[in-house]
Amino acid sequence: MTHKTVPNVVELDAIAWRILECLQHNARLSFAELGRKVGLSTPAVAERVHRLEEAGVITGYHAALDLAKLGLPIRVLVRLTIPGGDVQVSRAVTAIKELPEISRCHRITGDESFVIEANVVSIRHLEALIDKLSALGATSTSTVLSSPVERRELHAGQLEAFGRHN
């Protein structure tokens, strides 16, 4: 792994990319299994993974949950527009972090301030969430019908396809 002149960009060799591809596909692989897949010894692959974690390339390991099976069948996207400046935005961020229904929140460009992803039990629950968010600013809500691309793995060759040249 070497750092290029572009800030915060970590350049990876083919083995590092293969490790990332394997872990994206199955983060529960043992170091021994991962080492077999990428052609390294268990200690060598453990060291490589540790370096990827230290560099901030790997930021965590997560279990994907089916929220509908856990009683949260409705996923919504709420666009929130905060009037005013940084103080109001900061206050909104603090309030948003306190709402357990919210699974993701993105600060965005454009007319709206945030796009929020939330999961709710019912329409009544959604109404209560919208009421809480409306106290912060103007809202617009969409219900997610399906997610054809739920999570996409990143592979080595994609960076060039995205127009990033080394």
Structurally, at CATH architecture level, domain 67-143 sits in: 2-Layer Sandwich (3.30)
Fold observed for domain 2-62 = Arc Repressor Mutant, subunit A (1.10.10)
8 against 148, higher pLDDT: 148
Of 6-10, 83-87, 141-145, 160-164, give the range with the top mean pLDDT: 141-145
The average pLDDT across 116-131 equals 98
Domain ranges of the chain: 2-62, 67-143
**Phi, psi angles (nearest 5°) of residue 45:** -70, -35
Q: What pLDDT sits at residue 163? A: 64
Which residues are registered as beta bridge partners of 76? 118, 143
Q: What pLDDT sits at residue 7? A: 67
For residue 122, the one-letter residue type is S
Give the model confidence (pLDDT) of 70-122 as tens digits: 999 999 999 999 988 889 999 999 999 999 999 999 999 999 999 999 999 99
Give the model confidence (pLDDT) of 23-60 as tens digits: 999 999 999 999 999 999 999 999 999 999 999 999 99
The average pLDDT across 137-148 equals 96
